[in-house]
Every structure is written in C-alpha cells, then in structure tokens.
C-alpha cells in the first residue's frame, strides 16, 4: 500500500480547503522548496498552549510532516515550569531550575514558529486566532491545550487577587516558590492548611502528594507543625496508599477533614489568615487553596466548551462543536482519562497523527492512549497508578489498569520512584525535543 494510494482514497475525509492545501503543498515540495521555507501554501496548524498537550502535539506534527505543515505554537511563557515534579521541588527533591523548560529546540530543530503571546480570541468561521499583541494567525486546524483556570468564587473568600496570601501552586513556577517559602517560614508548631479541590481537577493524586512533601519538609525543619487537609471529597486517588504512608512516615502530623465534618462548607479569610469550616474558625500559618477548576479561558472564548470543559471525540480529540478544532489535556472532557501530563502527552500524539492525516493524507491508525501517575510519599517511597484506554464512539474508555500494592517492599517502592525520574526525563524530552 503506497502513501499516494492512501491519499487517493481519502479525499472525502478532508475538508475542501484542507485537500486543496495538501495538494498544493505536496506539489510545491517537488518544485520549489524555497517557497515552502517561506511558509506559503502549506496547510497551517496553530497550537494554543505550550504545555504537556500543546508542546507534544506541535513537535509531533512538525517532526512527522517534515515541513509539509506549517506549525505555530502560541505560549505566553518563555519558560514552562512543569507542574509535575513541582511537589518534589517543594519537598526538596529537585530544584526549581530543573523543572523549567524552554522552547528553543522546538523552533530551531523542528521549525515550529514559537510565538510568545496570549491568544485572546478565536474566530471559527474565519478560522483565525487573534493574539493579545494584535497579530492574527489563520489556521486550517486549531489545537487548544490551554490547561486549567480556576472557577471564580469556588472557595468563598478566595480569589486570584489573594493568591499571594493563600497560594494555589497549581500552576507551577512563582506560585510553587512562594508556597515553599511560606512552608519554610512557618513558626515552630504552626499549622499548614490545604483546601483540596472537588472533582474533576488536574492531577487527582497531586494534592495528596503535596501533603506528603510538605510533611517531609516539616518533619525535618519543624517537627511539631500540624497539617490540616480540608477536603470536600469523600474519597480520593490512591487514598489507602497515601494514608498508610502518612501513618508510617509522619505519624500524628496530618489531620483530614472530609465533607462529613463540613469541609464542603468552607470560607477562607486571606487577610486574617483563617479558615472557617462550617462555623469552626481556625487560625493558620500557611493556607494552600486549590480551587475548583475549568478549561482554560480561551477554550470558553472559542465557544467549544459545554459547562466547564470542552467535549471532544475520542478518536482524534476533535471538538464536538467543530471538526477543525481539537482540544487536548486538562481542558478536554474526553471520558475516563485523568487530567495528567501523561494523559495530555498521550492524547497529543493521537491528535497529531489524525491532524496530519487530515491535512496531508498521511496514514491514520486507531487511537490508543495510556497513563501512569507516580507520587512520592517520602524518600524512596514511590507509588503509581496506571491505565490503558481506547476510543469508543462516546468517550475515551478504560480498558485496563494497575496500581501499587499496599504491602510492597522497600526495593519496589524505590524502583517506582526511580522510574518516575526516568519518566520525567522521557516526557520532557518528548515535549520539548
């Protein structure tokens, strides 16, 4: 089976515009490569958000289309701080500079047009994205991977204006640094409080790994300190594994208040530094508020959300509202996958394959997805939960899974931690080249 044979069979799956663009690009590549280099006539993909989903999608499309597709990546930050391993930074297992990544290789080696700006509007009829700086980027396919924004008034008393007094550290970088500094500055015997978010939210084990890392630090520098976990959920990811680990490593330090004790009736005061749990007011020294979440704002502005998230088709992550828009990662309502970097990276590769297929007639393959989320409870005590997934007509559906055992020996836990370090190197290389 030749690629051209496939291309002949597939025009019906291409939009009229996409097909013409593909034909022009393929013809041009034979006769006038210099025209290509200037970016004329090639099908155009614009990716909004240079995180786990967006950077991966941009890199795979550029790498595999070998210049046939013009890829533009819009990302305001010049350095992306990974949320993954930002808890390990708080725990002292890695430096802030070790979780920072830049976009130079994507531009230099893969020819991606990296634009450091915010997308502020999407005109789906004109197929164009407007940037805060005023530029307009036309596209044939648009990929949105903007991550999350917080739901306003989700935690009464808290707002983004108060995030310096009560950090979320759920977008990494200066917030992570701030939270760590606050933990280190706690008075002896002081109280660290976390307000955990309701489902669904990015990184289901993330808040509980953070509790572990804060406990690890406090045990060393402030052993009489107290940790208060205020959680509106009945249960959470890897709960038994975390709670057994806390009993073992940090006995008596962590108290969890669930919805049965009013954690769902909460108000915070960032000036007085108090939390009011169903009428019981506590003075705290650090308050890490992780509010309820929704798709990044640009997904809402693009009109591809239904409620808080953007519904997508499982086979190619295309929006249920527009076949020329794809939504990846945390922002997407896709089915069973957790909102993780691993999942966003996995979805990006399926999306990249499908977008290339649609624009250039390259071969298409059935979607398949995977995820593994590691968490560190204490030094060399790593746990993980993983799943594999397939596309069904209505969602990305789980087809298998695995989770660490409660009775594992120390060697296994150590190996699990070491594996997570390997994964960090792997996924960041897969995202940024």
Partner 1 sequence: MARGPLMILCLAAILAAGFSRVGAAGDVELGQYLAGECLGCHMADGSDHGIPSIIRLSEADFVMALNAYRDGLRAHRVMQMIAGRLSESEIAALAAYFGGLE
Ligand X SMILES: Cc1cc2nc3c(=O)[nH]c(=O)nc-3n(C[C@H](O)[C@H](O)[C@H](O)COP(=O)(O)OP(=O)(O)OC[C@H]3O[C@@H](n4cnc5c(N)ncnc54)[C@H](O)[C@@H]3O)c2cc1C
Binding residues vs partner 1 (CB under 8 A): 2-4, 23, 26-27, 30-31, 60, 64, 342, 345-346, 349-350, 353, 363, 365, 368, 370, 372, 384, 386-388, 399-402, 418-427, 429-430
Residue 30 interacting entry, from ligand X, partner 1, ligand HEC, none, C-beta within 5 to 8 Å by type: partner 1
Contact residues toward ligand X (CB under 6 A) are 48-54, 74-77, 80, 83-84, 86-87, 118-119, 145-147, 170, 202-203, 206, 210, 296, 298, 328-331, 339-342, 344, 373-374
- Helical packing angle, 341-360 and 16-31, nearest 10°: 80
In whole angstroms, how close is the CB of 31 to ligand X at the nearest point? 36
Contacts with ligand HEC by CB under 6 A: the residue count is 4
Residue 401 interacting entry, from ligand X, partner 1, ligand HEC, none, C-beta within 5 to 8 Å by type: partner 1
Residue 346 interacting entry, from ligand X, ligand HEC, partner 1, none, C-beta within 5 to 8 Å by type: partner 1
Strands 79-81 and 70-74: unpaired
Residue 424 interacting entry, from ligand HEC, partner 1, ligand X, none, C-beta within 5 to 8 Å by type: partner 1
Residues in the chain: 433
Residue 12 or residue 31: which is nearer to partner 1 going by CB? 31
**Cα distances (Å, whole numbers) of residue 411 to 153, 161, 418:** 45, 45, 10
Residue 264 to residue 277: CA distance in whole angstroms: 8
Instruction: Give residue for tokens 């960041």.
Output: 428
Residue 361 or residue 382: which is nearer to ligand HEC going by CB? 382
Residue 117 or residue 419: which is nearer to partner 1 going by CB? 419
Residue 430: exposed, middle, or buried by beta-carbon count in 10 A (0-12, 13-18, 19+)? middle
Among 113, 419, 421, 430, binds ligand HEC (CB under 6 A): 419
In whole angstroms, how close is the CB of 262 to ligand X at the nearest point? 25
Q: Is 312 helix (H, G, I), strand (E, B) or coil?
A: strand
Instruction: Give residue for tokens 């071969």.
Output: 363
In whole angstroms, how close is the CB of 318 to ligand X at the nearest point? 16
Residue 242 or residue 423: which is nearer to ligand HEC going by CB? 423
Residue 343 or residue 377: which is nearer to ligand HEC going by CB? 343
Q: What is residue 230's DSSP assignment?
A: E
CB 139, CB 119: distance < 8 Å: no
- Helical packing angle, 206-221 and 174-184, nearest 10°: 40
In whole angstroms, how close is the CB of 369 to partner 1 at the nearest point? 8
Residue 330 to residue 227: CA distance in whole angstroms: 28
Q: Is 56 helix (H, G, I), strand (E, B) or coil?
A: helix
Residue 33 interacting entry, from ligand HEC, ligand X, partner 1, none, C-beta within 5 to 8 Å by type: none
Q: Is 410 helix (H, G, I), strand (E, B) or coil?
A: helix
The secondary structure of the chain in percent helix, strand, coil, rounded to multiples of 5, reads 35, 25, 40
In whole angstroms, how close is the CB of 182 to ligand HEC at the nearest point? 33
Residue 76 interacting entry, from ligand HEC, ligand X, partner 1, none, C-beta within 5 to 8 Å by type: ligand X
Closest CB to ligand X: residue number: 51
In whole angstroms, how close is the CB of 204 to ligand HEC at the nearest point? 17
Among 102, 113, 174, 372, binds ligand HEC (CB under 6 A): 372
Residue 13 or residue 402: which is nearer to partner 1 going by CB? 402
Peptide linkage before 200 cis (omega within 30 of 0): yes
Element (H, E) at 426: helix 410-432
- Helical packing angle, 410-432 and 341-360, nearest 10°: 30
Strands 136-138 and 368-378: unpaired
* First and final C-alpha spacing in the chain: 31
Residue 64 interacting entry, from ligand HEC, partner 1, ligand X, none, C-beta within 5 to 8 Å by type: partner 1
Residue 353 interacting entry, from ligand HEC, partner 1, ligand X, none, C-beta within 5 to 8 Å by type: partner 1
Helices (H), 277-409: 297-301, 341-360
- Name residue 288's beta-bridge partners: 194
Sequence-distant (≥ 6) Cβ neighbours of residue 12 within 8 angstroms: none
Residue 243 or residue 430: which is nearer to ligand HEC going by CB? 430
Residue 291 interacting entry, from ligand X, partner 1, ligand HEC, none, C-beta within 5 to 8 Å by type: none
Residue 226 or residue 349: which is nearer to partner 1 going by CB? 349
* 86: nearest Cα among 403, 366, 424: 424
Residue 27 or residue 400: which is nearer to ligand X going by CB? 400
Residue 84 interacting entry, from ligand X, partner 1, ligand HEC, none, C-beta within 5 to 8 Å by type: ligand X
């Amino acid at each position: 089976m030749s690629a051209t044979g496939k291309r002949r069979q597939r025009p019906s799956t291409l939009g009229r515009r996409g097909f013409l663009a593909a034909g022009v690009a393929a013809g041009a590549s034979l006769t006038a490569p210099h025209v290509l280099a200037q970016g004329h006539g090639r099908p155009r993909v614009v990716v909004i958000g240079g995180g786990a989903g967006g950077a991966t999608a941009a890199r795979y499309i550029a790498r595999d289309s070998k210049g046939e597709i013009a890829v533009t990546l819009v990302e305001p930050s010049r350095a992306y701080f990974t949320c993954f391993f930002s808890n390990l930074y708080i725990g002292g297992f890695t430096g802030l500079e070790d979780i920072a990544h830049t976009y130079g290789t994507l531009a230099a080696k893969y020819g991606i047009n990296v634009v450091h700006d915010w997308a502020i509007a999407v005109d789906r009829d004109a197929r164009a994205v407007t940037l805060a700086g005023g530029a307009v980027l036309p596209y044939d396919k648009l990929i949105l991977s903007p991550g999350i924004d917080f739901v306003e008034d989700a935690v009464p008393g808290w707002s983004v204006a108060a995030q310096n007094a009560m950090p979320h550290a759920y977008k990494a970088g200066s917030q992570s640094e701030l939270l760590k500094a606050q933990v280190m500055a706690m008075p002896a015997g002081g109280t660290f409080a976390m307000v955990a978010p309701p489902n669904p939210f990015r990184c289901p084990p993330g808040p509980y790994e953070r509790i572990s890392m804060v406990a690890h630090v406090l045990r060393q520098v402030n052993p009489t300190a107290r940790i208060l976990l205020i959680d509106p959920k009945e249960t959470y990811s890897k709960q038994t594994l975390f709670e057994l680990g806390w009993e073992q490593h940090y006995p008596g330090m962590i108290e969890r208040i669930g919805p049965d004790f009013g954690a769902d009736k909460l108000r915070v005061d960032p000036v007085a530094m108090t939390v009011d749990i169903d009428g019981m007011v506590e003075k705290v020294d650090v308050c890490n508020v992780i509010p309820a979440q929704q798709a990044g704002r640009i997904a809402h502005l693009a009109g591809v959300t239904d409620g808080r998230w953007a519904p997508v088709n499982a086979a190619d992550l295309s929006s249920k509202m527009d076949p020329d828009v794809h939504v990846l990662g945390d922002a997407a309502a896709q089915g069973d996958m957790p909102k993780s970097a691993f999942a966003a990276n996995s979805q990006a590769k399926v999306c990249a394959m499908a977008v290339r297929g649609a624009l250039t007639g390259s071969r298409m393959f059935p979607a398949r997805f995977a995820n593994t989320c590691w968490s560190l409870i204490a030094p060399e005590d790593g746990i993980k939960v993983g799943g594999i997934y397939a596309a069904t007509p209505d969602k990305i559906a789980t087809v298998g899974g695995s989770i660490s055992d409660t009775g594992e020996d120390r060697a296994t836990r150590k190996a699990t931690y070491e594996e997570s370090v390997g994964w960090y190197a792997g996924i960041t290389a897969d995202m940024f080249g």
